[in-house]
Amino acid sequence: MKRKISILGSTGSIGRQALEVIEKLNDKFEIIALTGGSNTELLNEQIKKFSPKYAYAANYKDITGAEYATLEEICSNKENDIILVAVSGRIGLKPTITAIKNGINIALANKETLVMAGDIVMPMAKEYGVKIIPVDSEHCAIHQCIKDIAQVDKLIITASGGPFLHKTIDEMKNATVDQALAHPRWNMGKKITVDSATLMNKGLEVIEAHHLFNMPYDKIEVVVHPQSIVHSAIEYVDGSVIAQLGLPSMHIPIQYAITYPDRFEGIKSKSFSFSQIARLDFEEPDWDKFKALKLAYDAGKTEGSATVCLNAANEEAVFAFLKGKIKLFDIINTVEAMMEKHDVVKNPSIEEIFCIDEEIRAKSRELFLKF
């Protein structure tokens, strides 16, 4: 039986790599729907190659070869066995909720879903018997390590440290967009690459891990590991540590998520050699230089709408940085200023979450004018 899958965000970095995996495992998958944003040329190529029944794009008139369906329609189509949510930004949240309510398993690559609404999404997935399978390499690693969550005492999330790991704070303050986008290990979209430079990405991953594995924040540790070979680890109550290792490649966690619980050769990276890798380094994050990480922990521990505020201020500031409107450290200054002023709403509804998100973005844009 082929596994029926839809990919939200098939033209993005994760979506394209997912299709490379599916191409390798073409006897295992049938694609129900593909969706893209503004890159209709690539989406049309993908439709031609993979023949989905349905497709969605912002400019649908430019799409040929598949029937039109909205994200909501795609996510309520019970033909799907699994939906890979690989869109970036808040746009991923509502379709994910729709898929959960329709009992469809989720391979989750969209960070905002859990950062903005983890307290709603995870209990809902439990209620509907839906699996949320993480795609991010760190959470995928933890997912692979855990046998019985009740016996796990600590999660250890690794961070490559990004392009500024060995730069001074001053060098980082004056970094250009190109420098921030020059990630030493991973080739990803622009937003997540800037987040990896400030370590906000790691902060968002800590919040996601808290929700995915129901682990308190003081039991989630971040360690800098520049080689990106150990993708994350867990420590059991008896002190035993289990880590997942592999060469840095997103194909592996994507493939694991969409084929779970099976494993296939698929796109196998070259065979792993400890002796060739020779050494693995680990160090504590520099909390002054990577203040974003501390802000993310603070927001997570505050709970309620604090993580919505953190995410909205950060995303808006990253976009402004990419447009050359603000400096790299102004991203952190924005998040800090917004969090200081934010009146936390306990247990916000989805509607309240979107309202707060909108409000924080508007306030952040006002703040940029002052930098």
Helix axes 93-101, 350-368, angle to 10 degrees: 170
Nearest to 25 by CA among 207, 190, 260: 260
Residue 330 sits in the site that holds Mg ion (CB under 5 A): no
Beta carbon nearer to Mg ion, 59 or 187: 187
Distance of closest approach, residue 196 Cβ to Mg ion, in angstroms: 8
Beta carbon nearer to Mg ion, 10 or 137: 137
Distance of closest approach, residue 293 Cβ to Mg ion, in angstroms: 13
Residue 195 sits in the site that holds Mg ion (CB under 5 A): no
Tell me which residues in 138-177 interact with Mg ion (CB under 5 A): 138
Beta carbon nearer to Mg ion, 80 or 158: 158
State which residue has the least CB distance to Mg ion: 136
The count of residues interacting with Mg ion (CB under 5 A) is 3
Distance of closest approach, residue 137 Cβ to Mg ion, in angstroms: 5
Tell me which residues in 14-73 interact with Mg ion (CB under 5 A): none
Rounded Cα gap, residues 154 and 223, in angstroms: 13
Beta carbon nearer to Mg ion, 138 or 330: 138
Distance of alpha carbon 364 from its chain centroid, rounded? Answer: 22
Nearest to 232 by CA among 114, 108, 136: 136
Distance of closest approach, residue 146 Cβ to Mg ion, in angstroms: 17
Beta carbon nearer to Mg ion, 152 or 250: 250
Distance of closest approach, residue 28 Cβ to Mg ion, in angstroms: 25
Distance of closest approach, residue 4 Cβ to Mg ion, in angstroms: 27
Q: Which long-range contacts (CB under 8 A, 24 or more apart) does 206-209 make?
A: 206/157, 206/293, 206/296, 206/297, 206/300, 207/114, 207/115, 207/118, 207/296, 207/299, 207/300, 207/307, 208/111, 208/114, 208/115, 208/118, 208/134, 208/136, 208/139, 209/138, 209/139, 209/142, 209/155, 209/157
Distance of closest approach, residue 266 Cβ to Mg ion, in angstroms: 20
Residue 136 sits in the site that holds Mg ion (CB under 5 A): yes
Which residues have CB under 8 Å from 69's CB, separation 6+?
Answer: 33, 54, 55, 56, 77
**HEC assignment per residue over 96-109:** HHHHHHCCCEEEEC
> Quick check: 180 and 328 in contact, CB under 8 A?
yes
Residue 208 sits in the site that holds Mg ion (CB under 5 A): no
Q: Which stretch binds Mg ion (CB under 5 A): 55-63, 106-114, 137-145, 271-279?
A: 137-145
Beta carbon nearer to Mg ion, 40 or 158: 158
Beta carbon nearer to Mg ion, 104 or 318: 318
Binding footprint of Mg ion on the chain (CB under 5 A)? 136-138
